Structure 1
Amino acid sequence: MKKILLNGENLTVSQAKEIVDKNLEIGISNSTITKIKTSRNVIEKWIKNDEVIYGVTTGFGEFKDVKIPQKDIEKLQHNLIISHSAGVGEPLPRNIVRLMLLLRINSLVKGYSGVRLELVKQLIKIFNFGITAYIPSQGSVGSSGDLAPLSHLAGVVIGEGYAYFGNELLPAKHVLAEHGLRPFKLSAKEGLALINGTQMMSAFGVEVLYRAKRLSKLADISGALSIEALKGTDTAFSDKLQRVRPHTGQINTAANLRRLLKNSKIRLSHIDCGKVQDAYSLRCMPQVHGAVKDTIEYVNKVIETEINSATDNPLIFAKSNEHIEGGNFHGEPVALVMDFLKIALSELGNISERRTARLVDGSLSGLPRFLTAKGGLNSGLMIAQYTAASLVSENKVLSHPASVDSIPTSANQEDHNSLGSIAARKCFEVLNNTEKIIAIEILCSCQGIDFLKPLKCGKGTGTAYAEIRRNVKHIDEDILMSEHINAVCDVIFREGFIESVEKSAGKLS
């Protein structure tokens, strides 16, 4: 399999996700090696000349004015890693940790961090071997980067802390030894370069964005299935209507819905029913789903800029022989968009649950109450809607913006922090909840469509319905509902479901 060469310039969200999910091998090009060496040569010269450089020949944070003797420079970097490994809480998901390492390598190879080539090679070996650090999820305030999480990541490099060996958690030095590696001895600037960055929040950003793009398409599919089950109209999805309010996401959502519902026999069966217009949760899908799509696109632009950025401090500009102390580690750009994205994803769940509520309400749907033909003895999908409502309400709490908060650290030297790490973790939770909300809508809409037989769905909705029914049967008698919800999740979130619908309906935007 071809090796992926990182250069710190053009890594995309989808590429990063693919590298981690498929365990692709990474490396660096000769031109990248030259940049790394040039940057390091400048650092070595400054150290030889005993120049005062923050974090290289001085302490950190409030200790910025403490000059460190040359004999202690290596110990300074080691102490930095172990003292800053102060995380608490549940461990980060292993794929998030792998993304963190990938993104940190991609930042370092830009050639502005002043690290040795040997360190970059060690990081690449650790990544390619699949060595994954145990990193507590809590402890970052999102400025000076994700210090605590990245310190736990760096700890594995120097043989401190813990890492996974298969499914077993072992001391990092033992895991390194199992792969023929020794703990790496850090030199000047290298500890700081490893932990000063936004890679934890950015890793969550990559994971959430990749799945949010697919979820956006699934929401259109679930909404179209609800249109079928509720005998709604596609009139509101007219391209002519969208063009006079030309938001890209709105136009694309309406086009998706038209493709999915094309040739629907259910629609033809009630085309002259006299109903003028549907409820907002059906009629306004282009406006709501479309706004979410536009949000995803904006967030993607910010995250892809961030994952190809130099985010430590100070940064080394070898051509002009400068070290510039600044704030590229500050997580505000990521914090704001993670808050924005979790609000958007919450709305996607909100409108989906409203459609589910209509599906189970016999007085609104025209379908059997709670989608069971034997109501009373059976409760049908009554409590599935409760679950969706619960998740929607939980999302509202999680969507409070973390970025509006700040708390000073390091004796007020670091007096404004982004809290982007919290925004990113909460965004991940909102995504997980919203995926389940959409799955519940699909479960309910397919159950509703069953009661409309022998009428057939449209080109796209028909394929989606058939794929669900191949794997998840109609609920005739009450069953363990959580298993049915999980079964729908297994179908719609596996690779191939969206693609099969697109094969019938055409590419969804």
Structure 2
Amino acid sequence: MTTLHDPLAGPTSSEALTLDGSAVTLEDVLAVTEGRRRVVLSSAPEFRERIARGNAFLERLLEEDGVVYGVTTGYGDSCTRAVPASDLEQLPRQLYTFHGCGLGEVLSVEAARAVVMVRLVSLCRGVSGVSVELLERLAWLLEHDVVPVIPEEGSVGASGDLTPLSYLAAVLCGEREVFDRGQRRATSEVFAEHGLVPYRLKPKEGLALMNGTAVMTALGVFAFARTTYLARLATRITALSVYALDGNPYHFDADLFAAKPHPGQNRVAERLRDDLHAPATPRNSPRLQDRYSTRCAPHVIGVVEDALPWWRQFLETELNSANDNPLIDAEHGKVMHGGHFYGGHVAFAMDSLKQACANLADLLDRQLALLVDTRFNHGLPSNLSGATPQRASLNHGYKAVQIGASAWTAEALKLTMPASVFSRSTECHNQDKVSMGTIAARDALRVLTLVEQVAAATLHAACQAVELRSQIADATPLPERLAGFLDVCRSTFPALGEDRALEPELRTLCGLIRQRRWSLYDA
């Protein structure tokens, strides 16, 4: 039976998530950013001492050596330019100030909250040379739901997400704007209301906040959750389409799929068998071969299912990494200069994810094209019109919906060009090879929005087609799982009789899909 519950999210928890440098999961990030779980910074002495040691070592190094990149020098190609001692306190502010040039739309409140969460997780690793006080300020933002307003555009994904993360650094210092419990306001006003004095960044803290992959990783967490859900939804819609088209359920035979044992592909086939209550395959099926958009659905959706584990691995490893530069190793007494800010793994995950997901849109769009066409839908009305015969000439059913789904699919497919191959040399050729990970993540989210629109359209039409099929005299009874799911859908939108404008219903469906509201299969 289908219920209104998201298996990816888990329940709301009264137990706070304690951050102490231990690994967190993608689900942990989602729970916090979707308001289902609080975050607290560990009070364990060993954790706080580890953080303090890094900051103390950095301060001792400054006293003894006098030179640390990004602390006593300019940034990037300006690293050879020494900063006078009298200006060192001003240097972190200069960093976030000159990076305050982001453009485009701003991140959603949930996405901005995720950015704060992801950056906090990274800094809790204890090798970024920051203070416990900075971590407490980041935790305060999450606790009070005060999150930075962050423009989407302006990051090349190395040295990390410098420009968008400058908005987090500036907010901590009482500047720019925040979403205060969802309302956009001046940071200074919100801090004043809470009696909070703007934070003064310590020597490396501006660099530690900004020189990382928090934005692309945060967006990747949402992309992963939406993709996981869409794979399940596409499977359920396929089952509806197979029934509505009077299709061959034996295409998903267990022995057949054992011969090509991709685990995710086999999982999709099993779900389809269960949805369709497919009996044992006969010696030779009377209905030989359906078209590829139903027969090969496990092979299309299975690519997503089989890629999910390594997408998770890439994202969770990045999430739980220290990814700024330089890193501070207090235990061994050294400063380590490197390139952990490079978002190549996230970029590759997002580029491949958007390609696999666009294929889901293409699959569902082709199923919808079969459902509305009397040449291929095996006896259903043209365009799935539910109008009476007397009104048939005036009504056009899902004709325009199919056109819209085709447009959304085309746009999704067009956006599958990988962002990661478009590296540009920037910052006076210091950043001469960059990841474009944040652009890849933003592209992936746009593709997912389009796939969700195609899924909403096909689901709406498939429910209509299933009901029309079940009214045919010799129709196979609708299997229990599909009947239960149809009931849930019908509680959201009615059958289509006379033509009506379907935009409001499609928007509602898109919202339910994006929120992952239906538990479709066991996790």
Pairwise TM-score range, normalised by the shorter structure = over 0.9
1:419-438 Cα deviation digits (max 9, x unpaired)? 11111001000111111111
Q: Does the 8 Å contact 2:268/2:301 carry over to 1?
A: yes
Query: Which residue number in structure 2 is paired with residue 3 of structure 1?
Result: 16
Correspondent of 1:165 among 177, 180, 202: 180
1:21 to 1:402, Cα distance in 2 relative to 1, 3 A = same
1:132 to 1:427, Cα distance in 2 relative to 1, 3 A = same
Query: Which residue number in structure 1 is paired with residue 504 of structure 2?
Result: 483
Query: Which residue number in structure 2 is paired with residue 356 of structure 1?
Result: 368
1:131 to 1:494, Cα distance in 2 relative to 1, 3 A = closer
Query: Which residue number in structure 2 is paired with residue 332 of structure 1?
Result: 344
Q: Does the 8 Å contact 2:161/2:438 carry over to 1?
A: yes
Query: Which residue number in structure 2 is paired with residue 28 of structure 1?
Result: 41
Q: Does the 8 Å contact 1:338/1:423 carry over to 2?
A: yes
Find the aligned partners of 1:488 and 1:103 in 2 and give their Cα distance.
30
Find the aligned partners of 1:19 and 1:410 in 2 and give their Cα distance.
35
Q: Does the 8 Å contact 2:249/2:278 carry over to 1?
A: no
1:110-131 Cα deviation digits (max 9, x unpaired)? 0000011111111111111110
1:169 is displaced (CA, Å) by: 2.4
**Residue 405 of structure 2 aligns to which amino acid in structure 1?**
A
Find the aligned partners of 1:492 and 1:80 in 2 and give their Cα distance.
40
Query: Which residue number in structure 2 is paired with residue 434 of structure 1?
Result: 451
Query: Which residue number in structure 1 is paired with residue 334 of structure 2?
Result: 322
**Residue 88 of structure 1 aligns to which amino acid in structure 2?**
L
Q: Does the 8 Å contact 2:250/2:278 carry over to 1?
A: no
1:459-483 Cα deviation digits (max 9, x unpaired)? 3212111111222111010001212
1:225-272 Cα deviation digits (max 9, x unpaired)? 1011001112121111112211111111111111111179xx99x999
Are residues 1:221 and 2:236 paired?
yes
Find the aligned partners of 1:113 and 1:166 in 2 and give their Cα distance.
30
Are residues 1:467 and 2:477 paired?
no
Are residues 1:118 and 2:133 paired?
yes
SS in 1 for 2:82: coil
**Residue 75 of structure 2 aligns to which amino acid in structure 1?**
F
Q: How does 1:486-501 map to 2 (within 5 A)?
A: 486-490=507-511, 492=513, 496-498=517-519, 501=520
Query: Which residue number in structure 1 is paired with residue 292 of structure 2?
Result: 280
Query: Which residue number in structure 2 is paired with residue 251 of structure 1?
Result: 266
Q: Does the 8 Å contact 1:135/1:149 carry over to 2?
A: yes
TM-score by length of 1: 0.94
Query: Which residue number in structure 2 is paired with residue 418 of structure 1?
Result: 435
1:50 is displaced (CA, Å) by: 3.5
Correspondent of 2:383 among 352, 370, 385: 370
Are residues 1:240 and 2:255 paired?
yes
Find the aligned partners of 1:296 and 1:423 in 2 and give their Cα distance.
17
**Residue 496 of structure 2 aligns to which amino acid in structure 1?**
I
SS in 1 for 2:40: strand
In terms of fraction of residues, the more helix-rich structure is 1
Query: Which residue number in structure 1 is paired with residue 304 of structure 2?
Result: 292
Find the aligned partners of 1:271 and 1:278 in 2 and give their Cα distance.
17
Q: Does the 8 Å contact 1:73/1:187 carry over to 2?
A: no
Find the aligned partners of 1:493 and 1:76 in 2 and give their Cα distance.
42
Are residues 1:83 and 2:98 paired?
yes
Find the aligned partners of 1:188 and 1:476 in 2 and give their Cα distance.
68
1:373 is displaced (CA, Å) by: 4.2
1:152 to 1:487, Cα distance in 2 relative to 1, 3 A = closer
Query: Which residue number in structure 2 is paired with residue 458 of structure 1?
Result: 479
1:85 to 1:439, Cα distance in 2 relative to 1, 3 A = same
1:27-49 Cα deviation digits (max 9, x unpaired)? 22213212211111110100111
Correspondent of 2:398 among 378, 381, 401: 381
Find the aligned partners of 1:21 and 1:489 in 2 and give their Cα distance.
18
Q: Does the 8 Å contact 1:77/1:191 carry over to 2?
A: yes
1:84 to 1:496, Cα distance in 2 relative to 1, 3 A = closer
**Residue 362 of structure 1 aligns to which amino acid in structure 2?**
T
Correspondent of 1:95 among 110, 133, 137: 110
1:330 is displaced (CA, Å) by: 0.5
Q: Does the 8 Å contact 1:112/1:315 carry over to 2?
A: yes
Q: Does the 8 Å contact 1:446/1:465 carry over to 2?
A: yes
Find the aligned partners of 1:496 and 1:120 in 2 and give their Cα distance.
33
1:453 is displaced (CA, Å) by: 2.6
Find the aligned partners of 1:139 and 1:104 in 2 and give their Cα distance.
18
1:90 is displaced (CA, Å) by: 1.1
Are residues 1:18 and 2:31 paired?
yes
Are residues 1:182 and 2:224 paired?
no
Find the aligned partners of 1:167 and 1:25 in 2 and give their Cα distance.
17
Are residues 1:136 and 2:151 paired?
yes
**Residue 85 of structure 2 aligns to which amino acid in structure 1?**
Q
Find the aligned partners of 2:229 and 2:76 in 1 and give their Cα distance.
41
1:416 to 1:182, Cα distance in 2 relative to 1, 3 A = same
1:167 is displaced (CA, Å) by: 4.5
**Residue 410 of structure 1 aligns to which amino acid in structure 2?**
E
Query: Which residue number in structure 2 is paired with residue 341 of structure 1?
Result: 353
1:203-245 Cα deviation digits (max 9, x unpaired)? 1100111121111111111110101100111212111111221
Are residues 1:408 and 2:425 paired?
yes
**Residue 503 of structure 2 aligns to which amino acid in structure 1?**
S
Query: Which residue number in structure 1 is paired with residue 415 of structure 2?
Result: 398
1:46 to 1:494, Cα distance in 2 relative to 1, 3 A = closer
Find the aligned partners of 2:360 and 2:216 in 1 and give their Cα distance.
22
**Residue 359 of structure 1 aligns to which amino acid in structure 2?**
L
1:333-379 Cα deviation digits (max 9, x unpaired)? 11111100000110111111100110011110021010014443101
Find the aligned partners of 2:383 and 2:223 in 1 and give their Cα distance.
33
**Residue 432 of structure 2 aligns to which amino acid in structure 1?**
D
Find the aligned partners of 2:420 and 2:19 in 1 and give their Cα distance.
31
Find the aligned partners of 1:349 and 1:392 in 2 and give their Cα distance.
6
Q: Does the 8 Å contact 1:164/1:175 carry over to 2?
A: no
Find the aligned partners of 1:220 and 1:60 in 2 and give their Cα distance.
50
**Residue 113 of structure 2 aligns to which amino acid in structure 1?**
R
Find the aligned partners of 1:120 and 1:331 in 2 and give their Cα distance.
23
- For these two proteins, the number of residue pairs brought into alignment is 499
SS in 2 for 1:365: coil
- Tell which deviates more after alignment, 120-129 or 187-196: 120-129
Identity %: 34
Unaligned runs of 5+ in 2: 1-13
Q: Does the 8 Å contact 1:4/1:27 carry over to 2?
A: yes
1:321 is displaced (CA, Å) by: 0.4
1:164 is displaced (CA, Å) by: 2.0
1:53 is displaced (CA, Å) by: 1.5
